[in-house]
Amino acid sequence: MKIEHATFDKLDEITALYRHLFQMMANLQPDYWQAVEPQREFLAHMLNKESSAIFVALNEQKKVTGFILCQEQETPPYPCYIPHRFAYILDLVVDENTRGQGIGSALIDSVIKWAKQRKLDYVDLNVLAENNQAVKLYTKHGFVKNSLILRKKI
């Protein structure tokens, strides 16, 4: 396995993994998520931005087995916030057939390295509460609860 920055020629493979992610989210929370077609324009835009990165995991045949999408952000300009610049993980997807091989861990490590190189203060993310595998992976890498979103359906 090799981790590298994504290139435009990998967009189809990344898009295919996104389809699986969107379906999984729709299965976990059908009242709030739906399986939709990923937007290549969004991914192309993120590839071109200096403040974002997409890392891919490639197998020996140079096929994408996973990816992680992150972006540099800043805390809101409210007086109560201590100003910080941080990396935000938008999405992490590993092909179902290659899970358990350390791909997710390697992708997380690539974002942490990217954030350190950019002198960012921390790495943040959101995860669906029902996504137990992802919660376990992030916890293993030292992520801790920072806030909790509660929802009441009416």
Give the angle 121-122-124 at the CA atoms, nearest 5°: 145
pLDDT digits (tens, 9 = 90+) for 92-102: 999 989 988 99
Q: For the full predicted model, state whether its pTM sits above 0.75.
A: yes
Q: Is the pLDDT of residue 137 over 90?
A: yes
Q: What is the pLDDT of residue 5?
A: 96
Beta-strand (E) ranges in the chain? 2-5, 52-58, 64-74, 85-94, 123-125
Of the candidate ranges 34-43, 80-89, 99-108, 133-142, the one whose mean pLDDT is the lowest:
34-43
- Percent of the chain predicted with pLDDT > 90: 88
Q: What is the pLDDT of residue 105?
A: 96
Q: Is the pLDDT of residue 4 over 90?
A: yes
Q: What is the pLDDT of residue 154?
A: 94
Q: What is the pLDDT of residue 77?
A: 92
Q: What is the pLDDT of residue 38?
A: 87
Q: Is the pLDDT of residue 151 over 90?
A: no
Which band of pLDDT confidence, cut at 50, 70 and 90, is reported for residue 19? very high
Q: Is the pLDDT of residue 113 over 90?
A: yes
pLDDT digits (tens, 9 = 90+) for 52-93: 999 999 999 999 999 999 999 999 999 999 999 999 999 999
Beta bridge partners of 147: none
Nearest to 11 by CA among 50, 64, 51: 64
